[in-house]
Every structure is written in C-alpha cells, then in structure tokens.
A = this chain, B = another copy of it.
Amino acid sequence: MTEQSKKNESNPAGEGFMPGLAIDAVIFGFHDHQLKVLLMEYKRSKIFALPGGFIRKEEDLNSAAYRVVSERTGLQNIYLEQFYVFGDYARFDPSPMKTIMQANEFAHDDDHWLLQRFISVGYYALVDFTKVTPLPDKIFDGCNWYPLSDVPNLMQDHNQIIKKALESLQSDLDRKLVAFNLMPGEFTMNELQGLYETILGAKFLRSAFQRKMLSLGILERIAKRMSGGAHKAPYLYKFRS
C-alpha cells in the first residue's frame, strides 16, 4: 500500500488494481558496515511493514515493483530481483489492516478489498545507500533504514520475507555479481570485502578475497584515495559496466 492510500479509502473494491496480488519490497542498503532495510511505519497504529504496493490493471508486474521502490527511495535506477512468492493461506489475517484503518478513520466494511486474502510477490532491491531519500506517503509517518540486526516486529510475515530475501541475496552474490549495486561508484578493496563479509556473515583472508575479486575481471582500478600518507593510501576501484 503506498500513494494509493487516499484512493483506497474511497475504493472499497480495489478498482483499477489486479485483485488478490500484492508486492512486498525488501530494499537493502549498505552503510556503516551494516546491511540495512527500509521499513515503513503506519501512522498512529505503530505497525511496521515492508514497503509494498499493488499492480495496476494494465501495468507489468515488474514495473509495479519498480514504481513501489522508486516511490520510497526517490531513485530512478534500481537493481531489482524477484525472489519468491508468498502464497500460504495462513498469511491471510485482516486484523493488522483493520487496526490501521480504524486508527486512521478509514471507512471500511469487512469486504473491503484490503481486508481480503493477498498473495505477495517478493522483490529485493539493492541500492546505493548514499543516494536514497526515504519517502513516506500519506498513510505512513515513517520510512527509515533499520539495520538487519535490529528489525522490529513487522506485520504479517514480513520478518520472514526479509529472512528469505537475505538468503536469496547470499545465494545470488557470486552467481550474478550483484553486490556492486550496493556500493557507491568508487570504493576500496577493503570496503568491498566488508560488504561481502557482512552479507555472507563470514570473514575472508584479505589476500584471497582480493585475488578472487580481481580474477573475476569485473573491477577497474582507478586511482589512489588521497588521504594521509600517499604510500599508505589504498587504491580505489569501480565496477566495469
């Protein structure tokens, strides 16, 4: 649920959207040696949730996911990956949404479309933390980064969705070389190693990590970072596009 909140209130049948299908987005950023996710907080009800949304009747599913992440981050260029569809019947629990609607004085009957069962397509996004401006919409009063190690209780199965997204990211890391989407344009080998270690929850030998990364042929060495003594300044790298 995003910008359509106002519209949803006067749209009890979900006019204009594909019924029964939602998108939940796990937006990963890397900052301060931590992997972080962007979370929403519903006004008044103190309920936390993943950014999400619905698919318009004539919209591509992937475009809808792109729109959702773009609206929350302000970014136009986003690495996005479908990772799983959450479709257990046990997910269906209208009570948190009822609480939210009541707290915000949304008019609603029990057959309001937002109170029906949804199957949700999970996407993860990898973004450059430094470029994001988190943007809540009208029914959220919070849109903020949380370290993965300190995620609050989220509505429905959203904590499980984050767990599964992290597993997918870990599994995709080597195969698809996706990590560079989490880095700023230029970085040191040390910073890249920190990212891999954080995602995989493991420590690597500096020399082995550097050898492996360079052997992939995806890094370009550009210059030394100028700070302090030049002989100690590390090289900067960027990813070849």
Q: Is A60 an interface residue (CB 8 A)?
A: yes
Looking at the complex, which one of B58, B59, B60, B85 makes contact with A121 (CB distance below 8 Å)?
A: B85
Looking at the complex, which one of B61, B62, B117 makes contact with A57 (CB distance below 8 Å)?
A: B117
Chain A, 66-102, contact with B by CB distance < 8 Å: what is the 0/1 string? 0000000000000000101111111000000000000
Listed residue (A20, A90, A171) with the most chain B CB atoms within 10 angstroms of its CB:
A20
Q: Is A18 an interface residue (CB 8 A)?
A: yes
Which of chain B's residues have a CB closer than 8 A to the CB of A90? 60
CB distance from A212 to the nearest CB of B (A): 17
Given pairs A21-B119, A57-B117, A60-B88, 15 additional interface contacts (CB within 8 A):
A18-B20, A18-B117, A18-B119, A19-B19, A55-B87, A55-B119, A59-B89, A60-B89, A61-B85, A62-B87, A82-B84, A85-B121, A87-B121, A171-B175, A175-B175
